[in-house]
Amino acid sequence: MFNKKTDPNIVDDIVNSGSGKVKKIVSTTIGVIIFLFVVITMLSSAYTVEETESVVVTTFGKAKLVDEKGLHFKIPYIQKATSVDTTVRGIKIGYSEDSNGNVYSVEHESIMITSDFNFIDCDFYVSYQVTDPIKYLYNSSEPDEILKNISMSCIRSTVSAYSVDTAITTGKAEIQSNVKSMIIAELEDEDIGITLVDASIQDVEPPTDEVIEAFTAVETAKQGKESAINEANAYRNEQIPAAEAKADRIIQDAEASKTARINEANGQVARFNEEFNEYKNYPLITKQRMFFETMEDVLPKVKLVIDGGETDITKYYPVTGSTMEAGVLGGTVDDSTETE
């Protein structure tokens, strides 16, 4: 074989050329790394506070709340900014929704027992808001889960104090109010930076179709009862004023009759007193006058015959007040008075 010796100068040129390329690649890589580090550092030093959130900035474990909206800066790698949603959010208890918006029941959350040992399916929606982001982040590891557990406990405790009939029909508003009060008290004790906005019943029904039908019939009957009561009250409210007005008229008529009778009695008393005074002065004349007045009332068609004595003229007079006065004042009435 033929061995050819390599020129040392050529080897040096190759080595020097490769070394230059390596240095260039290394320097380029270092430059890119430095550039990326600077960019990342600049980006990590800025943060934005949106309208629907607050930011908690921690410096060596010390937290500070930033509520002012807009762009802010922090010390990279030393300070950490954590955003907290401060809008009103909600927790579904007893039901859930899939990605397509279909609602389905979560039985281990919704099935509850009542005071009369019956089961009901009760769904709640609990809405809340983060009012203290620092406590929300650092007073507990899972504040949302704590709120859900508190809500479920309060709901079960409240529902268990009511009968199944009350829980499904007339007791919903009271149950809802009691649950809300209990959750608020529990959140104050836990102090996790969350404030309850509302706790509302979405649905309460028996867990089986047969029981649902039975309670629907009961609810219909109760509504019919309420309607009948309302109609009866309306009729009563209509009739009572009319009856009171009628009673007032009767009382007024009775008062008028009473007054008339009293006046009439007083008149008769006055008349009697006058006649009695006349009787004391003229007993015979008064008796005769009273006799003729009584006969006029009893026998209105009676005729009086008076004998003149010296003359043979016989006159007939109707028994009237004037005749009686004439008979009494002008002469003596004959005993031979005849009546027709």
The residue segments making up the domain with residue 291 are 282-330
For residue 321, what pLDDT band results from cuts at 50, 70 and 90?
Answer: very low
190 in the same domain as 93: yes
230 in the same domain as 133: no
Question: Is 324 among the domain residues?
Answer: yes
93 in the same domain as 203: yes
For residue 337, what pLDDT band results from cuts at 50, 70 and 90?
Answer: very low
Summarised one tens digit per residue, pLDDT across range 270-285 is 888 887 787 778 788 7
- Alpha carbon distance 91, 123 (integer Å): 11
For residue 208, what pLDDT band results from cuts at 50, 70 and 90?
Answer: low
188 in the same domain as 94: yes
pLDDT over 50 (residue 340): no
Summarised one tens digit per residue, pLDDT across range 169-188 is 888 999 999 999 999 999 99
Question: Is 203 among the domain residues?
Answer: yes
Question: Is 40 among the domain residues?
Answer: no
Instruction: Record the pTM.
Output: 0.53
pLDDT over 80 (residue 48): yes
- Give strand pairing partners of 95: 105
Boundary of a domain, candidates 33, 63, 85: 85
CATH code of the domain covering residue 99:
3.30.479.30
Boundary of a domain, candidates 207, 236, 252: 207
Question: Is 30 among the domain residues?
Answer: no
67 in the same domain as 137: no
Summarised one tens digit per residue, pLDDT across range 92-143 is 999 998 888 888 888 889 889 899 888 888 999 999 999 999 999 999 989 9
C-alpha gyration radius of the chain? 58
Question: Is 26 among the domain residues?
Answer: no
203 in the same domain as 164: yes
93 in the same domain as 138: yes
Domain count, the chain: 4
- Alpha carbon distance 36, 33 (integer Å): 5
Summarised one tens digit per residue, pLDDT across range 282-306 is 788 777 777 777 877 777 766 665 5
Boundary of a domain, candidates 207, 234, 262: 207
Question: Is 3 among the domain residues?
Answer: no
97 in the same domain as 186: yes
pLDDT over 60 (residue 331): no
Question: Is 111 among the domain residues?
Answer: yes
260 in the same domain as 325: no
Question: Is 338 among the domain residues?
Answer: no
For residue 201, what pLDDT band results from cuts at 50, 70 and 90?
Answer: very high
200 in the same domain as 93: yes
266 in the same domain as 179: no
170 in the same domain as 63: no
